[in-house]
Chains A and B, each alone.
Chain A
Amino acid sequence: MSSGSLVGSRIREKRLDRGLRQAAVAETVGISPSYLNLIEHNRRRIGGKLLADLARVLEVDTALLADGAERGMLDEMRSAAASLGDQVEVERTEELAARYPGWGALIAMQARRIAALEEKSRILTDRIAYDPQLAGSLHEVISAVSAIRSTASILVGPEDIDQDWQRRFHENIHSDSLRLANSSEALITYLEAPEAVLEHSGSPFEVVEGYLAKSGFHVASIEDGADPAVVAKEAGLQGPAEKVLFRVLQVYAGDVAALPLAAFEKTARTLNYDPAAIAQSLDARLPQVMRRLAQLPPSHGHPPMGLVVCDASGALIFIKSVPGFTMPRAGGACPLWPLYSALSRPHQPIRMDVQMPAPNATRFLCFALAEPVGPVLFDAPSALQSMMLVLPDPPESATAPHGVGLSCRICPRTACNSRREPAIGGVGDKTEL
């Protein structure tokens, strides 16, 4: 059974938990009790505004009602399978997760842990190869050892050596041994503190996203007018992550000043979370509206919305994933995302109805826009960034949605012209696209 088909069961469970009658809930959200009954028994698919309305009535996060956790887990399980190539029955991932959810969660957790450890390993390797402090310390030690070895060999060799030279070489060995002691001590001190280095492991963007994810990417203190510098400092992040967080919060504070929460929330609901309509209604800039939509408080019953930002190279520098639309930082995302199309058409908003591959075949409405950031100067390249807002389960449109994926390695669209690398074995072999 597809994980997405269990939304109704969760709605029923939450309604019963709260002691609400089916008829009362149905009336509040404007549907008939019989229709709600069909939903609760997983006989009607549900998403978008109705799911958000039910979440609001049941006072739960929309993402909790949707099958976010399971979908994210399935994506992680498929990514884990990618590391073993053809040896894993990827086409049976959902079956495994449905029958053994505990094992599925374990696989996903282990995959995350392995990725984190690999990142730490990469940092340590880079540190050994490129750290100037370590290279300097090692150079000092090896130079002193070389001098001592060469000088001592002369002294113990069979040839007679003049007394003045003997005295000179003894002094050299003495001075080099002192130097060796000092440089060894410095090296040991340096090597004894790897944890300090590893605290900064993971890209600063991931660290910042981890921090923001704890509050659903809604920072109440910034909404209340707090100083971004103070909030960033109090977050307890270190090094580059603190600086990245400060920059993110600075932009956040600017967005709050331009679009205060209460009025924005009301307009967003009224205009069904359409960023273009909201921007027009509030006379606001589209990128600010897109960011504000992704910053809406998750406990207020809004539909889950993802946001991803990339720079001109396509590197993802901000990720707020949405259930079913995992955004992989490592290994490269799907080149068919409108996020990347926007890079070649700066200032031109792109609205695109997209669909993930079967078996989930989940649909999303994407809004993308690329614009220069920072100063725009003559005779100097502009820093271009592209942003994409992702809304799940849009209403059916007249035209067929564009087929996209998450990442080539786990994408079953074998005939895709934009494919970078083959999919792992099992993906796509038995899947109808």
Chain B
Amino acid sequence: MGKRVLLIEDEPNIIEAISFILSRDGWTVHTHEDGTSAMSKVLAMPPDMIILDVMLPGRSGFDILRDLRGHEVTKSTPVMMLTARGQDKDRELAMRLGASLFMTKPFSNEEVRNHVRNLMEA
């Protein structure tokens, strides 16, 4: 079984597309759509890396990232932030909170695959 990627994203068709391309690359992809319960999901089965959308129902990706970095289990887990807003201040905030990478929508599939591979091999 390949390493586990947890995709926390609320857009069903984006979930389907990313899950498809990463699964095809051999990663085991789990998904979660809600911000409020995202941390519980992570801790229930800690993944090898997380793809985290910023705008989620219930709780923002920034708040979840802050919790991830504050928790012993997930403080070093690679996190790639995903957002439709490419503003500098969002990027700066994500990196300040400890994101490993920040990717803006719309993204290319190759970009996603390369980043995941690099973060898993780092």
Contacts and interface: CB of A to CB of B under 8 A. Distances in A.
A binds B: yes
Interface string A43-62: 00000000000000000000
B20 A139 contact: no
A146 B107 contact: yes
A163 to B, nearest CB: 14
A147 B11 CA distance: 8
Given A146-B11, A151-B17, 19 more contacts: A135-B85, A138-B84, A138-B85, A139-B85, A142-B84, A142-B106, A143-B105, A145-B106, A146-B84, A149-B106, A149-B107, A149-B108, A150-B14, A150-B21, A150-B106, A150-B107, A154-B109, A172-B17, A176-B13
A139 B106 contact: no
Nearest to B15: A147
B20 A146 contact: no
A168 B14 contact: no
Interface string A143-186: 10111011101100101000001001100100110000000000
A143 B108 contact: no
A73 B121 CA distance: 69
Interface in B96-122: 105-109, 112
Given A153-B109, A154-B109, A159-B24, A147 B84 contact: no
Interface residues of B, number: 18
B111 to A, nearest CB: 10
Given A138-B84, A146-B107, A149-B106, A154 B21 contact: yes
Contact of B13 (A135, A157, A165, A172): A172
Contacts of A176: 13
Nearest to A140: B84
A369 B42 CA distance: 60
Contacts of B11: 143, 146-147
Interface in A74-127: none
Contact of B14 (A138, A146, A153): A146
Contact of B20 (A138, A142, A149, A165): A165
Contact of A139 (B55, B108, B112): B55
A359 B118 CA distance: 70
A159 B24 CA distance: 10
Interface string B1-33: 000000000010110111011001000000000
A169 B16 CA distance: 9
Given A150-B109, A159-B24, A143 B17 contact: no
Max count, chain A CB within 10 A of own CB: residue among B14, B17, B21: B17
Contacts of A154: 17, 20-21, 109
Nearest to A129: B87
A101 to B, nearest CB: 48
Nearest to B84: A142
Interface of B: 11, 13-14, 16-18, 20-21, 24, 55, 84-85, 105-109, 112
A135 B112 CA distance: 24
A175 B106 contact: no
30 contacts: A138-B85, A142-B84, A142-B106, A143-B11, A143-B84, A143-B105, A145-B105, A145-B106, A146-B11, A146-B106, A147-B14, A147-B17, A149-B107, A149-B108, A150-B14, A150-B18, A150-B107, A150-B109, A151-B16, A151-B17, A153-B109, A154-B17, A154-B20, A154-B21, A157-B109, A159-B24, A165-B20, A168-B16, A169-B16, A172-B16
A142 B24 CA distance: 25
Contacts of B14: 143, 146-147, 150
Nearest to B14: A147
A168 B108 CA distance: 20
Contacts of B109: 150, 153-154, 157
Contacts of B106: 142, 145-146, 149-150
Nearest to A143: B11
A119 to B, nearest CB: 23
A18 B20 CA distance: 91
Given A139-B55, A159-B24, A146 B105 contact: yes
Contacts of A142: 84, 105-106
Nearest to B87: A129
B18 to A, nearest CB: 7
The 5 closest A-B pairs by CB, nearest first: A142-B84, A150-B17, A146-B105, A147-B13, A146-B106
Contact of A151 (B13, B24, B107, B108): B13
Contacts of B112: 150
A142 B14 CA distance: 11
Nearest to B109: A153
Interface string A218-235: 000000000000000000
Contacts of A157: 109
B114 to A, nearest CB: 14
Contacts of A145: 105-106
A172 to B, nearest CB: 4
